[in-house]
A and B are shown apart, each in its own frame.
Chain A
Amino acid sequence: AQKITQTQPGMFVQEKEAVTLDCTYDTSDPSYGLFWYKQPSSGEMIFLIYQGSYDQQNATEGRYSLNFQKARKSANLVISASQLGDSAMYFCAMRRNQAGTALIFGKGTTLSVSS
């Protein structure tokens, strides 16, 4: 069965510092996709970054990068130069086995950025 595990309920970081949010996954499918979403207190789900299982390079989007270690089945999100506006809940997710189907989410990590 597919599973996403986020073991950090909460993380605290100061402005301008980098932070890593952990995510491990389990799947028997050789083809899969991993996502990170940000959910501020307003509730909207904001897409941050995507990594396909066959992608050779780690995905990057601005201040966000995904540290993809396939053998370890980990897909950690790295946020560089944290900003106060980064304070939110962060979810790691995996596409379900069949293309075009829904996402399986981890339990999330609450990130708090202080000045």
Chain B
Amino acid sequence: GAVVSQHPSWVICKSGTSVKIECRSLDFQATTMFWYRQFPKQSLMLMATSNEGSKATYEQGVEKDKFLINHASLTLSTLTVTSAHPEDSSFYICSAKPSGAPYEQYFGPGTRLTVT
């Protein structure tokens, strides 16, 4: 149980285009999902906290107009990178917190984004 999927697993896009990444909890409901970014050989940095039915909370320094987050259902959160630039190339990982479980969270397999 407690499986989180991400789609796509990797994507290449051209500079200036937008790309959407999906994070799904497959066998549990998640009122809260988290989006992290990881540059090569570096740590995971929290970008934003996504709450079902409300606006996402962004970390300091993360542009909310560039990284659009939508948590429209209890099993799906999406991250859209708008007007992507090469510096947005990174590994994006989501995690999902089961509803009613204060301390648990489960990670998705990640999405590797390359902007050319």
Contacts and interface: CB of A to CB of B under 8 A. Distances in A.
B97 A100 contact: yes
Contacts of B106: 47
Contacts of B23: none
B54 interface: no
A91 B112 contact: no
Interface stretch (A16-24, A62-70, A79-87, A101-109): A101-109
A99 B45 CA distance: 18
Contact of A43 (B32, B49, B95, B112): B112
B102 A100 contact: yes
Given A33-B103, A42-B109, A107 B93 contact: no
B112 A105 contact: no
A44 B103 contact: no
Interface in B25-72: 32, 34, 36, 42-46, 49
Dominant secondary structure at the B interface: strand
Contacts of B46: 102-104
Contact of A101 (B42, B49, B91): B49
Contacts of A99: 102-103
Interface in B74-116: 91, 93, 95, 97, 101-103, 105-107, 109-110, 112
Contacts of A103: 34, 44, 46, 95, 105
A interface, size bucket: 10 to 19
B interface, size bucket: 20 to 34
Given A100-B32, A107-B42, A107-B43, A44 B102 contact: no
Given A42-B109, A91-B43, A107-B42, A102 B91 contact: no
Interface in A34-80: 37, 42-45, 47
Contacts of A33: 103
Interface of A: 33, 37, 42-45, 47, 91, 95, 99-108
25 contacts: A37-B107, A43-B91, A43-B112, A44-B109, A45-B44, A45-B93, A45-B95, A47-B106, A47-B107, A95-B103, A99-B102, A100-B32, A100-B97, A100-B102, A101-B49, A102-B36, A102-B49, A103-B34, A103-B46, A103-B95, A103-B105, A104-B46, A105-B44, A107-B42, A108-B42
